[in-house]
Structure 1
Amino acid sequence: MDSTERPRGPHLEWTVAASDIGPLFLAATEEGLVRVEFHADAGRPDLAGPLVSRLGADAWRPAPGREVLLAEPIRQLAAYFAGELRRFELPLDWRLSAGFNRLVLRELASSVPYGSVVGYGELAARVGQPGAAQAVGAAMGSNPLPVVVPCHRVVENDGGIGGFGGGVETKRALLALEGVLPQPLF
């Protein structure tokens, strides 16, 4: 859809925003931010295609600076990367997460603040499933809203950094930004 013509019915607004960890694909519905993806390719015109089919909405990519649904997420992400924001206050559309995964992600978002970390096992215990550390790892891997729902703050119980959908170096950069790890040398 043309960037000057906003759809009339349910729609998905999307863009690619620059960040300190590379370009981020952002998408929002009228309910809230629905998707954040790392390493987005701004030149791909079909970037929102998979979401459009899952959510049953028309996609709209406004011209830069003309975002409506994404204006506040873009502003808050910029403030976060500038070290000026420690807690996101955004409406979230949770439709891309369900069941145990949604339960774990909501617990993470509400109880693990900026500058702290939690182990996979501890997070599992917090949601009443103390033996489900691996399932928590799977929930982190399915997180549709990384950075905003801070799956980078979940680490291995033995102190290892653990995996990350955006890559371990991206996880290190986010934890360094929050003061959990030292800044990388390079």
Structure 2
Amino acid sequence: MPAVPDLVRSHLAAAYPGPVAGASVTFLGTRPLNVDRFGPDRTGVVRYATAGVSQEPMHPATATVADPLRGPRAELVLSLRPGRDEVLRTLAVLAATPQVEGLVLGAGATIDLRQPLWPGARVSAVLLGDDELVPPLDLVAAGAVPDRDGVEPVRFYPVLPMTNDEAALARARGAGHLRQLWRDADTDLLDPQRVSALTR
């Protein structure tokens, strides 16, 4: 059977053609995680994407039994204009949370790292979006897992950086409220130097 990370990287390369570079990061007690850099594209956008989270389905820390095949699978995609390659390790930290903390990554999830996502950044937390920028990857059709009922595809969640006060608002009022605030303020989420939408 083909390795899931290899399938993920090929799937991403089809969605984001262009120069590719990356890094492999291993945290104590976890499987290796790859973070690849795609681009910049013609508009100057660089994509940073994980490959390795989806090797196994995610289960909450409270689960008494972890099904080795069934359960949600995810990878993360961060888009910036221009790129900040220092974010590679930070994205790997986010990708390790299912293994380390039993966090199930999905649309609307918020993760607060309590430190800048890259040196000098104003953003220190992330919201996982629900925009399907990359189509789901069917692992059964790709021959990576047995053909069984309930095997979910790999979903690719956009990583939306948040400032401290934006993260606090998302926790208090919900992710939908913050997304509306960003729309109302015409916030450029691709700008690595943007200020909080709450200061406008």
**TM-score, structure 1 length as denominator?**
0.31
Higher helix share: 1
**TM-score, structure 2 length as denominator?**
0.29
Higher strand share: 2
